[in-house]
Amino acid sequence: MGEFTVKSTPQHVASGDEISLRGLLQAMVDTRLIRAIDAELPALLHRMAPETRSEVWLLCALVSFQYGRGHTCIPWETFCKHADQLLGIDEGALARLSERQQKAWRTHLRALQEMSSAALLESPWIAASAGEQGVVQEAPLTWSQGRFYLTRLFLAERQVRAAVTARLQPLAFDSDVLQAAIAEVFEPDQVRVQGVIHWQSLACALAAQRPFTIITGGPGTGKTTTVVRLLAVLQRVRAGQARIQLAAPTGKAAARLTESIRDKIQELPDGLGHGIPAEVVTLHKLLGARPHRRAFLHNRHNPLQVDVVVVDEASMIDVEMMASLMDALPPQAQVILLGDKDQLASVEAGSVLGDFCAGAERGGYRKETLDLLLPYTTGDLNAFAGAGSDYNQATVMLRESHRFGADSGIGQLAGAINRGESVQSDFFERFADIQWFEGTEALDALRKLCVTGYASYLKTMQTGPIAQGASDSADTENTVQRQADIWAKQVLRAHRDFQVLVALRTGPWGISGLNETIADWLNRAGLIAQTHGWYVGRPVIVQRNNYALKLMNGDIGLTVRDPISGSLRVVFEQPDGQIKWVLPSRLADVETVYALTVHKSQGSEFTHTVLVLPDAMNPVLTRELVYTGITRASHQFTLVTPEARILAQAIQTRVIRSSGL
């Protein structure tokens, strides 16, 4: 079988030139302009139907490429006018190719841009959507409302849209009963301050009256406090019979929310915490993930037995996971999403929370939504009236930070970054809880920070648990194990005191380079005995779900010496607070994690966070990434930049993902 090639038409290159699309795509793979899998799809389809036009193969490759960048689709009109910007393949990136390859790229790209969508739809490999309910023919790509999708992403997006749309109509509710329930869980002097809008109680009022609600807000705005009070309200109006399930995308997020939920339940008036679950599970556990299978146990044919589902850190949920969640819910179940709309979107394709929350700052509440809210506030909501989207009517944005006041550098810096404001070094000098090391001082400052910061958990580890004598008594053995668990939890908690975050995986300022560098610094400081292999103090992150061990991608563990056996173990804290002890030999897909990517840090919080930006601009450096890195810090934030200009460039770069939501 020959290469899939195209004889260039005269308007593109000189007559007689033959350009191999396969060779071009392979060159783009070799130079890391696209992924290997992006070139595999057109190659596979070519083997099945070699007569198909090369423009279709290129479209397949580009839709796959965009999926890898987090987009669910290619908006055709935008692509035809601004392909370079949409794809992020500019002249600088193309310089990695030879002149002939660059010419071939422009030729193929222009030929695709000049094709009409109708001409592309003549291919059997592209299906035309039959609407929101129609059957989609089996084809790799689907065309819908001016966009080309990978078909499975189109189906996922359609599933999400349909499930949410079905939950947008308000529920019938007795206003007096709801007002009484809200009055029970909030202090009157909070809710009924004349002329003041109390957004937390309004979020409860809206969510109680809607089958689908989003509660969004920045760090410290009280999302967890609000949802605990909301659940208390729902139990009051449902006579304590609501079956409630709490979930989060990752084990770390679930563990953090479990701890927070338990604290907040204790703050409720006596008796109001009844029926509120104190344990949060991962979405994978909730839906019934099965090893080596994409499909979950729970779906529309085997739905979850729940009345209310609350999902925290919803910005991390990609479109396919959201589709699976909505598919697993019974029609009457209420859905409440919590999250910060300004954080990084999911690692996988889609920006579901961001799409739903577009325009949330303005409110955009229509008259019917204002009518639902007005009985629950003495504040003036006119400033938030408007003709917002259907999603806006189901969204409440919490606007007051209770964690970061006016004197908090972390809060002020996060706000400035989020607004796209230029930040200079003098900004950091105004606050005690933020600092910035740049230029030539960056590396040495980072070394000192790491040695001091990571000493917290490493020295806690050296203390060991309370010594116990050996005994055959089961009670004594249980006591020894309990003491070991308590000690392990203390070490894991101490590890949260300090964390280095990075933007990139490769390079001296990325995961690979900095993990080696930091290990060397700690070794030279006498805090760890070695830098490679398994050793006491090594922090590791799970890179792939391990269902046998019940460890999920993103879980972080610490290597310790088991005080009972004396051998090395890796300890993990489970979402329910229990400690899991694992032999290192059972952990295949892990890597050292002195430095953690910002993406992987979502759902976590650290006392002191150090964000390290690289010395050259990269497409992943965005305003959302910087904001997310800053908001992982609870008490102290440090920025380290070998090149100061990188911060300004990142702030001006936004994440805009193409989708149909």
Terminus-to-terminus CA distance in the chain, angstroms?
41
Amino acid identity of 73?
Answer: C
223 annotated binding-site participant: yes
Q: What distance in Å separates the CA atoms of residue 331 and residue 355, rounded to the nearest whole number? A: 23
Bridging pattern class, strands 141-144 and 147-150: antiparallel
221 annotated binding-site participant: yes
| Residue 641 C-alpha from the chain's centroid | 24
Angle, CA 322 vertex, CA 316 and CA 324 arms, to 5°: 135
Ramachandran class of 48: left when φ > 0, alpha when ψ lies in -120 to 50, beta otherwise? alpha
As a dihedral over the C-alpha atoms of residue 386, residue 392, residue 396, residue 401, rounded to 10 degrees, the angle is -80
> 332: closest CA among 211, 163, 482, 243?
211
439 annotated binding-site participant: no
- DSSP secondary structure string for all residues of 424-489: -HHHHHT-SSEEEEEGGGHHHHHHHHHHHHHHHHHHHHHH-SPP----S-HHHHHHHHHHHHHHHH
- What contacts 357, CB < 8 A, 6 or more positions away? 214, 216, 341, 391, 395, 397
50 annotated binding-site participant: no
Tokens of 635: 């008490």
> 446: closest CA among 558, 605, 611, 600?
611
217 annotated binding-site participant: yes
- DSSP secondary structure string for all residues of 453-471: HHHHHHHHHHH-SPP----
- DSSP secondary structure string for all residues of 110-153: HHHHTS-HHHHTTSTTEEEP--SSSPPPS-SEEEETTEEEEHHH
The sheet with strand 434-438 has its strands ordered as 434-438, 633-641, 606-612, 498-502, 595-597
- What contacts 286, CB < 8 A, 6 or more positions away? 245, 247, 298, 304, 309, 325, 328
463 annotated binding-site participant: no
CB 272 within 8 A of CB 298: no
Tokens of 159: 């599933």
220 annotated binding-site participant: yes
Residue with tokens 């929310």: 257
How buried is 565 (Cβ within 10 angstroms: 0-12 exposed, 13-18 middle, 19+ buried)?
Answer: exposed
The SS3 of residue 558 is strand
Q: What distance in Å separates the CA atoms of residue 596 and residue 355, rounded to the nearest whole number? A: 27
Q: What distance in Å separates the CA atoms of residue 523 and residue 595, rounded to the nearest whole number? A: 16
The SS3 of residue 154 is helix
Q: What distance in Å separates the CA atoms of residue 368 and residue 379, rounded to the nearest whole number? A: 17
338 strand-pairing partners: 215
Q: What distance in Å separates the CA atoms of residue 541 and residue 515, rounded to the nearest whole number? A: 12
Task: Annotate 202-235 with three-state secondary structure.
Answer: HHHHHHHCCCEEEEEECCCCCHHHHHHHHHHHHH
Q: What is the DSSP letter of 267?
A: H
Q: Which residues are annotated as a binding site?
A: 217-224
Binding site as annotated, residues for ATP: 217-224
